[in-house]
Chain A
């Protein structure tokens, strides 16, 4: 069963910030929010993850709402190489099925 909901596709102008939303209204207290992306014909690549606090690394920022029911991945200055499918998934320490869903297909436009 899908535990996350993402828009199927988005466009973003090159150089602008790309904001990718994810809804996870049934998230459990022990579930982390992870973001991966998959560039065509490659294996998925880790981007960032968080539990409650906002996180930032060299690739992106992750904003998690206070109630943890939604999050936003921010690519601050999108480049053409950021065109990919972006997956928002929930992972917990306890055994559960990892569901990647169909993600958001982001197209960065020159």
Chain B
């Protein structure tokens, strides 16, 4: 069946612009996660959704970052006034229900801020 999909696969933007990254989780998965991975680094947790609510936003690095999820499905991660240090691969994962369920990852969106 279809896995987690993310769009766009690549995004190049200018410093100061806003960007929106999209994640389509596996159908029926209620938990959704956003991570980012800077070059040569491990995965950094950003935010976790259970349904449409986000019980854990502790990983968002600044108030320029926000995320929402509607209809318990698609999620968008928005970065306002992008900075060069925001350049990274942004990964989305979904799991069936609980945080201990296996997470299935999408291919990621590579964001480059010039």
Question: Which single member of A46, A92, A98 contacts B45 (CB below 8 Å)?
Answer: A98
Q: Is B58 an interface residue (CB 8 A)?
A: yes
Q: Are B91 and A87 in contact (CB under 8 A)?
A: no
Given contacts A93-B98, A97-B58, A97-B59, whether A102 and B105 have CB atoms under 8 Å apart is: no
Query: What does the 1/0 interface line of A88-99 toward B look like (CB < 8 Å)?
Result: 000111011111
A43-B106 contact in complex given A97-B59, A98-B33, A100-B35, C-beta closer than 8 Å: yes
Chain A residue at minimal CB-CB distance from B104 = A46
0/1 per residue, A7-33, Cβ < 8 Å to B?
000000000000000000000000010
- Residues of A participating in the B interface, judged by any CB pair closer than 8 Å: 32, 36, 42-46, 49, 87, 91-93, 95-103
**Residue numbers in B under 8 Å from A43 (CB-CB):** 4, 91, 93, 105-108
Residue-wise interface mask of B (56-91) relative to A, using a CB-CB cutoff of 8 A (1 in contact, 0 not): 101100000000000000000000000000000001
Contact of B56 with A95 in the complex, beta carbons under 8 Å:
yes
Q: Decide: A97 near B56, CB < 8 A? Known: A44-B43, A102-B41.
A: yes
CB of A22 to closest CB in B, whole Å: 13
Question: Which residues from chain B contact A101 at a C-beta distance below 8 Å?
Answer: 42
Given contacts A42-B107, A43-B106, contact A87 B42 (CB under 8 A): yes
| Residues of A with C-beta under 8 A to B108 | 43
Beta-carbon contact of A100 and B42 below 8 Å: yes
